[in-house]
Amino acid sequence: MKMSRRPDPTRKPELLAQILDYLLDKPLASLTFRSAAAALGVSTYTLVYQFGTRNELISEIVRAISARRALIEESFVSTVNTLETYYENLRVSWQWTLDPRNRQLQRLEFEATMLEAVEPDVHNFSRELFVFWLRVGRESLESFGLTPEDAAIESRIMVDAFYGLQYDLVVNGDDNGATAAFDRLITHHRERVEALSHARLPA
């Protein structure tokens, strides 16, 4: 009796990494199983077997791009939650974006987000990621003494502004200008957070 070959658990992440490299200078919209298979030197069957459908492949791509979430989350959890570490973690995330390769990955994430906007029932990972960043920011800010309402507002301001500056960087490629704006954002945001925190301290 012929035994079926067992799937190689390392094959999927290996293929995914190769697909990400292939997409660094290409729009996500151009991705098909056929184009990816030709670039990787594999059969379309191999990709369909590993990823299922094109929509599932795109979801896997966005998850891989956003793997930094786990790194930042680990940093927030493993360090003492102070204002210093909170803003240092934001700076680390910004430095990630400045890397040329990561900037292209961020571009792909933005493209995937636009797909979610028109196909909300098909893709939702970018929205889940947005909600995740809001929660991390809100919980940190509440631990600094902000009310839940203020923490939610300030977290959304930071997340929205951060995404906006990343978009600026992807579109314009002005590292110095975007970084100067990011530094100003951090300064003013911290001033507001400290003021809101002090306002709750007992007299």
Residue 1's pLDDT is what? Answer: 44
Residue 154's pLDDT is what? Answer: 97
The fold adopted by the segment(s) 11-63 is Arc Repressor Mutant, subunit A (1.10.10)
What distance in Å separates the CA atoms of residue 137 and residue 152, rounded to the nearest whole number? 8
Q: What is the pTM of this model?
A: 0.81
Which residue is associated with the tokens 């012929």?
Answer: 2
Residue 2's pLDDT is what? Answer: 43
Mean pLDDT split into 10-residue runs, the chain, 203 residues: 54 91 90 93 93 88 73 62 89 90 89 82 79 91 95 97 95 96 97 88 50
What lies within 8 Å, CB to CB, of 199 at 6+ separation is none
3-state secondary structure 71-93: HHHHHHHHCCCCHHHHHHHHHHH
Residue of 133, 130, 131 lying closest to 109 (CA atoms) = 130
